[in-house]
Each structure stands twice: as C-alpha cells, then as structure tokens.
Structure 1
C-alpha cells in the first residue's frame, strides 16, 4: 500500500493537533479520576507553576548552567568522536579492534558513570559537562562511522583517479557525503546531552535545573517538577531543531551543487 505524502501545512499542523489531544486527555483524566495533586496535577496547575518559575530571578541562572553543561558537553563529545570516526574508517586494524564494542558502549547508563566521575574528576560544571560528552560521544561516533562507510566507493575511486590526496578526499568527498549521518548523530547527541546534564546535577550536585528538580522532588512539588521538565524538553527540542535546520540547508546546498552543470 502506497502512503500519501502529507502537505507542508499538514506536517506543520500535526504536532499541534497531537499536543491538543494530549492536553485534552490529561485534563479529562484529572477531571474524571480526581487524583491527588501531588500524584498528577492538572494542566492548569502546571501552567500556573511554570509561569511562576519563569518569573523567578533564580530560575534563569539555573537554566543557563544546564544549557552550558549540555552544549559544552555535546560539542566536546563531537570534537573527539568525529576524528576518531575518521581513524576507524581509514585504519583497518583500528576498525577491527573497536567496531565490535561500539554497540555495547551505548548501553552504559549515565547514572552509573556519574558517581565514578565524581570520584575521579570531582564536582562542578566541568565533570557534568564531561558526563554529557560521554553520553553523546558514542552515538555521534557510530553515526559518523556509518556515514563514512556508506560513501559510494565509485565516487571515491573516481576522486582518486583524478589525483585527490588523502586529506582532500576526506574534506571534499567523504565528509560532505557523510554529513547527513554526522548531523543526525549530533542532533540526537544534543537531546542526550540535556539528559546527561540533569542526571549529573541530580547525582553530583550543581546549580542547574537538575538540582531544582531534586529540590522540587524533596518538597513533593509535582506541578513544579512538571514545569521544569517542560523547560528541559523545550531546551532539548530547540537544540534538536537547530541541527535539523542545518541538516535541511546542507541537503539543499548539496542538491543545488549536484544539479549545477
């Protein structure tokens, strides 16, 4: 069965319709079941609490700390993962040694690594950013290796026949063709990095939104926790969206370049 393609308007409207249905179901559940507010607050209670949080002077510095940890950690993980992906792609013995372990490394839970980092590195923004880097490193590495591996060998052979050297081949052919996979790994990495920042703050302490969540949990402020989680979702979605825009623009440029005579 062939699927009908959605129009741009329908694609834009679909997430908002889903959000309205989700809020309606949530509100209906609270109205009919009447659970205690500490168990499941109403959407209106969460909205009121979120508004109060956003107007607190202390909220935005905490937001900035978590954002800096997530962004710095993701960029650090990317800066290490991409060169290593190139080495794995180019050096056969390294590829044979590391490839079997790439899948297993992604199963390591961040909450298990955080206490070790606290012992080895200490506390503060640096160790939390390092935890974020570890969380995003392996997904970016795997995506980059896959993208480089899927580059058409005929294109590579043609470039070598034209006299392309190893560096020029990498910069002009392999990395541009692998860019969609690399950006997809980076896009998912940003979302994971926000999770790493929150986990790190909850386990190792800190001054960001993860610490705020801990305080809200201890005071059974469920509506406040919902509000903070919504802010974290918005942060991750914004970072995810920025990379998605870069992906679309790079794809457009690639298409235009490919169509050029």
Structure 2
C-alpha cells in the first residue's frame, strides 16, 4: 500500500495544475516578458523623474516615437532586412563550411590536432580588427560583411558539430555498420540526425553572433543596414533616441531568432525521442 502511494503521488503531483512543477513551467514562459516590462517601467520612472539627462537616457516615449517613425516610413524595416540578409548569408555559409569541418575534427585526430589551435586562435581576433582588412581585400558592400559574419559564426558551428558527433552512442553507430550501412549512409541517416540538437544549438548561438557581426561590418564597411543607422545616430549631434530605437530593433531580432531556433531544436529533439 505504501509503495502504491509512493508510485501514485508523483504522477498526481505532476498532473495537478496547481503543483509547483506546473506553476514553474507556466511562469517560465512569462518570465522574460515580465522582466522586460519591469525594465521598461523602471526606465520610464527614471526618465520622468529627470534623474539622468536626456542625452544620456532618453525618455521611452521619445524612443518609441523614433522607432515608430522609422518603421512607418520603412527606413528601419529596410535596414533590418539588409542586416538580416548579411547575417543569414553568413550563417548559411558558416554552416555549409562548418558542418564537414566539425565532422572531420570529430572523426580524425590528425585534422583535430592540425586545425584545432587555429580555430581557437581565430576567436582572439575581434570583428572590428577584421573589418578594415576585409575592406582592403574585398571592398565595400554585402560580400565583405557576409564574409565577416561567416568567420564569426564558424567557430560555434564547428565546435557544436564536433561535440555532437563525438558524444554519439557508439553502440548505435556500430549496429548500423553491422546492418551494412556505408560511410555516406551512416553520416546521412545516423550520425547527423542524432547530432542535430547539438548542431542546432551551435547554429542558434552563431546566428545571434552573426547579427552582431553584420552590424559591426556595416558600421565599418558601409551599407544600408542597422549598423549604418547606428553610425548616423552617432553623428556630431548624437541622436540618442535613434540609437536606442536601433538597439531595440536589434534586441527584437536577436530574441526572435533565438526563440525560433530554440523551437526548431525542441521539435528536432522530440522527433528523435
């Protein structure tokens, strides 16, 4: 009887809508929204009280007016599209290059020993230092910005692919080999699908970094994206409200991309379970 009670209790507790687990799960979905609204409310109070000068912290109403004006005339939307295009192309190129590279590092100790140190060293070079070199080598416009994004995203994609392949259950791989799976079939049907959650986590992190790389590239190499909008807001007469409006667009893009790729990752995990 005691054993039955112990077995039933957890299931009842999990199913109860008022249980701590259930309440915590519901709160987890709304926590980011509550936190964001709290920050905006605090910002509004500080601006209304005049604690900080407007050139340091503009009023949320001024930022909203600038943001809405930029969206209404299409300027900020067009800039966001340009930045997303460069970031997306860079992330795509990094994925195409990083997947086979990460797989090779995972499966070949020689490749890992040869390329590993250089991949780590590439992360020591800041994007601001690379951008002027790309201008000299390639020029201005979309292509050098895409190359910069590719370089930035490459490392997390390679590392996540390497870890995903190395952590596979070797018994599953050996069983597939015993069933007659060749190398290509093994990669396509077993290894990459099982490593997909780890790979998607790396791409999710990389895409967020890619947006940052696109903005830095646009500030240095020109263009019509959000980086150019930030540069214009930094002019001799700094438009702080415009800077905050562009930053708000960047935050929205980063959060949206993160949530979308997180959802894709969850769907992939459910499909594999």
TM-score, structure 1 normalization: 0.91
Between the aligned partners of 1:43 and 1:200, the Cα distance in structure 2 is 28
Counterpart contact for 2:87–2:211, Cα < 8 Å = yes
Report matched runs for 1:156-235 at 5 Å: 156-218=173-235, 219-235=237-253
Unaligned runs of 5+ in 1: 256-261
Unaligned runs of 5+ in 2: 1-19
Between the aligned partners of 1:6 and 1:77, the Cα distance in structure 2 is 40
Find the residue that maps to 2:250 and give its secondary structure: helix
Q: Give a deviation string over 1:138-173, Cα, whole Å, max 9, x none.
A: 111111111111111122222222222111111111
Between the aligned partners of 1:5 and 1:121, the Cα distance in structure 2 is 54
Counterpart contact for 2:95–2:203, Cα < 8 Å = yes
Counterpart contact for 1:102–1:142, Cα < 8 Å = no
Counterpart contact for 1:106–1:139, Cα < 8 Å = no
Between the aligned partners of 1:91 and 1:62, the Cα distance in structure 2 is 43
Between the aligned partners of 2:205 and 2:272, the Cα distance in structure 1 is 22
When Rg is computed on C-alpha atoms for both structures, the one with the higher figure is 2
Displacement of 1:33 after TM fit? 5.0
Kindly tell me the number of residue pairs found equivalent between the two proteins: 253
Q: Which runs of 4+ in 1 moved over 6 A?
A: none
Between the aligned partners of 1:76 and 1:160, the Cα distance in structure 2 is 31
Task: Give the alignment partner of residue 236 of structure 1, picking from 243, 246, 254.
Answer: 254
Counterpart contact for 2:130–2:148, Cα < 8 Å = yes
Which protein has greater RCO, CA pairs closer than 8 Å, 6+ apart?
Answer: 1
